[in-house]
Homo-oligomer: A and B are copies of this chain.
Amino acid sequence: MPREIRLNAFDMNCVGHQSPGLWRHPRDLSSTYKDLEYWTELAQILERGKFDGLFIADVLGVYDVYHGTAEHAIRHATQIPLNDPLLVVPAMAQVTKDLGFGVTCSLTYEHPYPFARRMSTLDHLTKGRAGWNIVSSYLDSAARNFGMKNQVRHDDRYAVADEYMEVCYKLWEASWEDDAVIRDAQIGVFTDPRKVHQIEHYGEYFQVPGYHLSEPSPQRTPVLYQAGASRRGKDFAARHAECVFVAAPSKVILKNYVSDIRRRAAGFGRDPSKLLFFNLLTVIVAPTEEEAKRKHQEYRQYVSYDGALALGSGWTGIDFGQYRPDQRLEYIENDAVQSATESLTISDPSKIWTVEEVANWIGIGGLGPLLVGSTEQIADALEEWVEETDVDGFNLAYAVTHESFRDFADLVVPELQKRGRFKQQYLPGTLREKLFNGGPKLPDEHPGGIIRKQGLTQLEPAQSSA
């Protein structure tokens, strides 16, 4: 049986997400991101297309590397204005039954105690469809708004992150036993206090002695998503992530990354085949190749040069504003640019790209590969990517929303289903059960599962047995 292809949609609570300028396209809805209807309609399209989940990105700063100012990002709505990602989920949960929700929350700027409760609440309200994309933010402009001069030093950031996860696992996995809530009206006991524990966490960065405030949610720990690129980041992903987001521009890079993380995960005692990898991807599809190419040309007219380079400068740390549009990239020396532009060689390995061409490429869906083609061509390409790289699926950015998602759901999904590459229906249960065809909770060998087992033997209950 061919391997099933997994699918996330990628959006953000803002205008144009990774397609700066395309808000001007007459069919683009992204500037209505402030309305609940934008999100409920999107969720319904995705569930109709049997997407595994919707992944909502977030940053807590602005793109101000390009020309050393946020002016261009602001003018072209490059991820500013930007609203909170969590609050749109409950409304989407209400109009769907199976779609998962992976929400980006930075652990650098929020205390784990209220955060853990917020995620438990989301998992309750969605009946176990909550996911958390763990990030430590990457924009200096974000750190400054929290009273820090610059970002926390990279390695310290991961030390804080590891302890943050430990606190969350204790709250989610070890504070309330499975059968603590008995809700017995006859004997007048809602919760058995012998089965609720203070977590007694006294660490280097966090002191959290108390009880988790939420009763156990369907998944306890939400499904954990992560994207780690540095050595520490990769180890963090290999230890904690159940789903890994990648933005690899080429198959070679992707294949190496996937096998590296799977190897590291095995080193941490986890089953490496149980990690799901999603590569960033933008697809422009139509019934025929010609129509798809026409659609691509049509979209390209709306790309904002400055908006795209504001994004690219923020991501790479290079101020592209110092280069002319016709400057060729071979003369820009920077690892991030070299790596990013490797994907450009997919279509033409001999071509040297100019800054303007890069802007046109980033400007439709960001740094991931861009595939343009007929339904069959796209399905072929997706199968190749999966076969050749060991990736599990894709994190689909949009060019024009909701059109990009609707096109994919209407054209590519049925084709993949025909080829036995895509589910005919959702599995029952929580997001974790749907994704891994196992139980609703973290597996025993996961760091959160280990804390669950240890916690129950080590922690004192609220009331001792008589």
| A84 to B304 alpha-carbon distance, docked (Å) | 39
> Are A208 and B94 interface neighbours, CB within 8 A?
no
Q: Does A75 count as interface, using CB distance less than 8 angstroms?
A: yes
| A60 to B351 alpha-carbon distance, docked (Å) | 59
Q: Does A439 count as interface, using CB distance less than 8 angstroms?
A: no
The interface stretch among A3-11, A114-122, A328-336, A341-349 is A114-122
B34, B83, B94, B304: the one contacting A40 at CB < 8 Å is: B94
Number of copies: 2
Residue of B nearest to A77 (CB): B190
- Known contacts A75-B193, A113-B60, A191-B75, A207 near B90 by CB under 8 Å: no
**A141, A144, A210 pick with most chain B CB within 10 angstroms:** A210
Contact with B along A354-383 (1 / 0, CB 8 A): 000000000000000000000000000000
List of B residues within 8 angstroms of A196 by Cβ: 74
Determine how close the nearest CB of chain B comes to the CB of A192; give it in whole angstroms.
7
Residue of B nearest to A40 (CB): B94
Q: Does A82 count as interface, using CB distance less than 8 angstroms?
A: yes
Q: Does A125 count as interface, using CB distance less than 8 angstroms?
A: yes
> Are B91 and A121 interface neighbours, CB within 8 A?
no
| A81 to B35 alpha-carbon distance, docked (Å) | 31
Determine how close the nearest CB of chain B comes to the CB of A191; give it in whole angstroms.
5
Q: Does A252 count as interface, using CB distance less than 8 angstroms?
A: no
Q: Does A31 count as interface, using CB distance less than 8 angstroms?
A: yes
> Are B146 and A113 interface neighbours, CB within 8 A?
yes
Q: Does A337 count as interface, using CB distance less than 8 angstroms?
A: no
> Are B83 and A121 interface neighbours, CB within 8 A?
yes
List of B residues within 8 angstroms of A147 by Cβ: 206-208
Residues 1-48 of A contacting B (Cβ, < 8 Å): 13, 15, 21, 23-24, 31, 34-36, 40
Residue of B nearest to A38 (CB): B125
- Known contacts A74-B191, A125-B88, A188-B304, A82 near B213 by CB under 8 Å: yes
> Are B87 and A86 interface neighbours, CB within 8 A?
yes
Determine how close the nearest CB of chain B comes to the CB of A85; give it in whole angstroms.
9
> Are A62 and B210 interface neighbours, CB within 8 A?
yes
Residue of B nearest to A15 (CB): B190
B23, B40, B93, B462: the one contacting A36 at CB < 8 Å is: B93
| A13 to B462 alpha-carbon distance, docked (Å) | 22
Q: Does A275 count as interface, using CB distance less than 8 angstroms?
A: no
**A70, A84, A193, A211 pick with most chain B CB within 10 angstroms:** A84
B31, B109, B462: the one contacting A190 at CB < 8 Å is: B31
| A191 to B23 alpha-carbon distance, docked (Å) | 12
> Are B190 and A60 interface neighbours, CB within 8 A?
no
Contact with B along A170-206 (1 / 0, CB 8 A): 0000000000010101001111110010000000001
Q: Does A433 count as interface, using CB distance less than 8 angstroms?
A: no
Residues 82-136 of A contacting B (Cβ, < 8 Å): 82-84, 86-91, 93-94, 109-111, 113-114, 117-118, 120-122, 124-125
Can you report 11 A-B residue pairs in the complex whose CB atoms are below 8 A from each other?
A34-B215, A36-B90, A60-B113, A62-B210, A75-B191, A76-B188, A82-B214, A86-B118, A88-B90, A91-B93, A146-B208
Binding site for B on A (CB under 8 A): 13, 15, 21, 23-24, 31, 34-36, 40, 60-62, 69-71, 74-77, 80-84, 86-91, 93-94, 109-111, 113-114, 117-118, 120-122, 124-125, 141, 144-147, 181, 183, 185, 188-193, 196, 206-211, 213-215, 217, 304, 462-463
